[in-house]
Amino acid sequence: MSSTASTTGRAGRPRASADSTSSAASALSGREQILDAAAALFSEAGFSGTSTRAIADRVGIRQQSLYYHFAGKDEILAELLSSSVRPSIEFVESIEAQVPGEVTPAGALFALASIDAGTLRRTPHNIGTLYLLPEIQDPRYKAFRDQRVQLRAIYGRLGAACAHPDVIAALGQERIGVVLIQLAEIVIQLRRNDGADTGAGGSTVIGTVTSPVASPVISDDETIAASCLRVLGLTSAQIDVARTEAATIIGTFLHRDLAVTVA
């Protein structure tokens, strides 16, 4: 060993805590540990129901140490919110551009809904529940709400472009957007009902939500996307076409994304 025995390997005064709790206490930076702990607590007990003390305890630091990383509790929530819509927004921007020509609205909508469902499903600690907190109505979180309004508008446009005429007549583009988002976010409720959320620290726990017997080829995410098209009055045949097209769209996006990451 170079100097003292098993040091933290990071700068800064060591934590007073025993650093007891098993497995992966590290891997995440201090800041990330705080975000992870806060996400878990906010979704269980709400924003106001979670004290800075509770967050710090979970991380294994003193309450006051939080303020080195964040100016206040509200900044922690703001960061969690903005990082959780980001994937959808990114995907949406890439997809809507190519809608009139290369891609049908139904295919694009199916792709968008299944991406959103998948993101919400894989998110640690069911972060989507934060969207339901009354506190986000505060002007402080306007930027986040604006992003959601934007996303809803895109759902509305895509939906109105492929819905059965009867549905457009009954709902109109705006409410179509609300209905579709509400359906995609059903994942939040499903995870809540399953209780005792897995969502381990940083590791991406994929799938395994409620298919005890052995689900067919169609994933839960695609089932939800299919429900989005169904509520717009599309037939099973039309939905299957959209599903196939969506697979291509998503494949293309993933490649492009990879290219961007590499470059």
Q: Which does 162 bind (CB under 5 to 8 A by kind): DNA, a second copy, none?
A: none
What does the per-residue mask of binding to a second copy show for 178-217, with x meaning CB under 8 A? xx--xx--x--xx-xx----------------x-------
Taking CB under 7 A as the rule, does residue 18 contact DNA?
no
Taking CB under 7 A as the rule, does residue 198 contact DNA?
no
What does the per-residue mask of binding to DNA show for 58-97, with x meaning CB under 7 A? --xxxxxx-xxx-xxx------------------------
Token duo for residue 250:
């998503």
DSSP-derived 3-state class of residue 157: helix
- Map tokens 């600690």 to a residue: 125
SS3 sequence of 15-78? CCCCCCCCCCCCCCCHHHHHHHHHHHHHHHHCCCCCCHHHHHHHHCCCHHHHHHHCCCHHHHHH
Taking CB under 8 A as the rule, does residue 231 contact a second copy?
yes
- Name the minimum Å distance from CB 189 to a second copy: 6
Q: Which does 46 bind (CB under 5 to 8 A by kind): DNA, a second copy, none?
A: a second copy
Q: Look at the chain and count its residues.
A: 263
Which of 226, 201, 223, 200 minimizes the C-alpha distance to 210?
Answer: 223
Q: Which of 8, 21, 29, 48 binds a second copy (CB under 8 A)?
A: 48
Taking CB under 7 A as the rule, does residue 11 contact DNA?
yes
Taking CB under 8 A as the rule, does residue 54 contact a second copy?
no
Please list every residue from 83 through 122 that binds a second copy, using CB under 8 A: none
Give the Cα separation of 181 and 175 in Å (integer): 10
Give the interface segment with a second copy, choosing from 32-40, 63-71, 117-125, 169-177 (CB under 8 A): 169-177
Give helix 165-184 / helix 105-122 axis angle, nearest 10°.
Answer: 20
